[in-house]
Structure 1
Amino acid sequence: MKREDLAIFDSQAVRDGLSYADCIEAIRDVMQALSAGTTRQLLRTMISLGTGRTFAQMPGALGDHDMFGTKTISVFADPLSPGLRRHRGLVVLFEPYEGRPVAVCDAEEITHIRTAAATAVATDALARKDARTLLIVGTGGQAHTHLKALPLVRDFTRIVIWGRAPAKVDALVEQYAHLGAERAGDLETAAREADVICTLTTASEPVLFGDWVQPGTHVNLVGSSGPGPVEVDSALVAKSRYIADSTASARDAAAEFLVARDAGIVTDGHILAEIGDVLLGRVAGRTGDQDITLYKSLGHAVQDLAAAAHLYRSSHR
């Protein structure tokens, strides 16, 4: 491939070229840059195309003299898997010297990997060092990617999976038996026993409740990425040290936080910090082993661009 050629990375090429370990480091760096103010991005714009159908645009730049571009994506209900959504689209990457487009990447696969990598970064920063029990709530694509990413940052000795469809839970347990995966008996019991909880659902009403989550637990809220659907109740939001990937985005689109704020349970100040602030050492994410920490993942253009830039640069070494 010539340097001036446009590189095309389909889903298989993304999987082959973007390891979870490398993506975790790329996301760790870019989230610090986001909080330091050296990246640029706009809040995502979304056009509703009817029930279960959204078209979204996410532009950003990794820096004034670094890669820039956009993710253009459709978020449609999957007719083959009711209750699940597919994120289909492209990440288009431009180089900073002549403004040339240099890469087009499958956005769905980048989204899968970088979302799990971001959760891993937050878990590494916020979970107790001795966290050993992981609870995965949900059985979709993000369950798979989180099961690949999270064991890279903690030595889990027990991984428990819960979902509404027993057959999908059993399939995940079988596929990840090498990690010691097991099926949750019931969600409340599993939540009470977990050190780290990841909610990866399409739920519109809470499936996880504050009364269930014990002191010392770290929770990652990943499934809801816009106002409306919530995965947890306001009690959990209120009792946690609430860390956002982006404060501005959380105040605009973090459904669980918005519900608690609109009910007068919390204020805007309840957002303690961005994960980048924690990584930069500006704010303590966890102050002790009894803290309940919560990371709200909404996803950002700079995450997609950082993942795409690493993929592109690795292919040109």
Structure 2
Amino acid sequence: MSISHSPVFVSSDTARAVFDWKEAIQALQAAYSQSIPPQSTPARSVAAVGKTWLRTLSAVPVGGRYYGAKVMGAAMGSAKPGVEYAIVLFDRDTSRIAGLVDGALVTGFRTAATSAAALDRLAPPRPARLAVLGSGLEASMHVRAIASVRELTEVVVFSPTPEKRAAFAEAVTHDLGVQARGVASGQEAVDGADIVLCAARSRGELPILYSDWLKPEATIVSIGSTVPSQREIDASVVARSDIIVCDMLEEVLEETGDMLAAKEAGINFHDKSFSMVELMSGKLEDKLGRARTRMFKSVGGGLQDIVVAELILTRALERGLVTHLPIEFENKSI
């Protein structure tokens, strides 16, 4: 009897059904606790012509069963432009394509889970008041991820549209049982917050967070400045931070608008910026003990996509929720 090597497909609906925040956070902490060779998780690549672009993030996690890449693309000149995400997972045991995972939700899941994984080691281990700047999907997922690693006493959200921030606060209270409210300014949201989440790019690419808004010993999570043209935090926040942990160290420091602006302002941040591996391995314990203001800055990486996609594929297979594809890729012996 021949063995079938047909791959399976995991939809976003299935990803949502099987995903678990605590499991994803723990898996990412474990992945970043190991020594990661640079070639294991290279920088993203972007191909573009005119208004059409294609981005690829790849990784071969240390110790994982699956390896692969997330591919996303958009033709902004089309009649109805949009972005689609596909994660291709290869199986180390068979050297074949094992599955295709819709990456739309996975991207949000892995970004928030990575932030929570870092925050769990950065923020003091006590109940916290959370300020949220932004009310979109990334902000929503982050609140749920952060609630998995810290008891939240209150969530205060600001976004420019009153209806959106009110709906966001109502959903937080309904889903998490945490007191939440919307406020009319970013400064009001941040006032007195133990943890500050920046999950929204500003109109006109101006900063949405300033250092004089922060209480002493605040911990900041910033995810909205991922390329040179994007801004989220003011250079004063970079200056104030005693320790900055980055998911992709070189990309964050050299290719994001926030850090380029801080460099232009003459702020020296390289000697206080560290990788996720250094954080998870315990190498920063002494520095964390002395740090008052701590920040996690993220641009996203292929390692996060593959680790979380592996979890989702594994759980979907266990629960019989995958779609078996009536295809088989040709496998060439090497």
TM-score by length of 2: 0.84
CA distance in 2, matches of 1:43, 1:125: 24
State the shift of 1:42 in Å: 1.5
Code of the residue aligned with 1:20 in structure 2: it is W
Which residue of structure 2 aligns with residue 128 of structure 1?
124
The change in CA–CA distance for 1:267 and 1:135 in structure 2 (over 3 A counts) is closer
The within-5 A match list for 1:170-249 is 170-177=166-173, 178-203=177-202, 204-240=205-241, 241-249=243-251
The change in CA–CA distance for 1:233 and 1:75 in structure 2 (over 3 A counts) is farther
Code of the residue aligned with 1:134 in structure 2: it is L
CA distance in 2, matches of 1:48, 1:13: 31
State the shift of 1:25 in Å: 1.2
CA distance in 2, matches of 1:180, 1:57: 39
Give CA-to-partner distance per residue, 1:231-252, whole Å, 9 cap, x none.
1111110110111112222233
State the shift of 1:117 in Å: 0.6
1:150 maps to 2:149: no
CA distance in 2, matches of 1:3, 1:149: 38
Q: Kindly tell me the number of residue pairs found equivalent between the two proteins.
A: 306
| Contact 1:68 1:96 (8 Å CA) reproduced | yes
| Contact 1:31 1:245 (8 Å CA) reproduced | no
Q: Secondary structure at the match of 1:286?
A: helix
The within-5 A match list for 1:41-52 is 41-48=41-48
The alignment's C-alpha RMSD in Å is 2.4
Unmatched runs of 5 consecutive residues or more in structure 1: 80-84
CA distance in 1, matches of 2:74, 2:258: 20
State the shift of 1:286 in Å: 2.2
Identity of aligned residues (%): 22
CA distance in 2, matches of 1:171, 1:190: 16
The change in CA–CA distance for 1:171 and 1:214 in structure 2 (over 3 A counts) is same
State the shift of 1:227 in Å: 1.6
Larger radius of gyration: 2
CA distance in 2, matches of 1:312, 1:5: 14
Which residue of structure 1 aligns with residue 69 of structure 2?
70
1:168 maps to 2:164: yes
Q: Secondary structure at the match of 1:157?
A: strand
Code of the residue aligned with 1:200 in structure 2: it is A
The change in CA–CA distance for 1:3 and 1:197 in structure 2 (over 3 A counts) is farther
Which residue of structure 1 aligns with residue 95 of structure 2?
99
State the shift of 1:100 in Å: 0.5
The change in CA–CA distance for 1:296 and 1:4 in structure 2 (over 3 A counts) is same
CA distance in 2, matches of 1:270, 1:152: 27
State the shift of 1:202 in Å: 2.2
State the shift of 1:264 in Å: 2.0
CA distance in 2, matches of 1:157, 1:3: 52
| Contact 2:9 2:99 (8 Å CA) reproduced | yes
State the shift of 1:11 in Å: 0.6
| Contact 1:261 1:268 (8 Å CA) reproduced | no
Which residue of structure 1 aligns with residue 331 of structure 2?
none
| Contact 1:39 1:63 (8 Å CA) reproduced | no
Code of the residue aligned with 1:45 in structure 2: it is S
| Contact 1:244 1:297 (8 Å CA) reproduced | yes
Code of the residue aligned with 1:239 in structure 2: it is R
State the shift of 1:149 in Å: 1.0
TM-score by length of 1: 0.88
> Which residue, 81, 84, 91 being the options, matches 1:88?
84
State the shift of 1:187 in Å: 1.7
CA distance in 2, matches of 1:181, 1:11: 28
CA distance in 2, matches of 1:122, 1:246: 13
The change in CA–CA distance for 1:202 and 1:50 in structure 2 (over 3 A counts) is farther
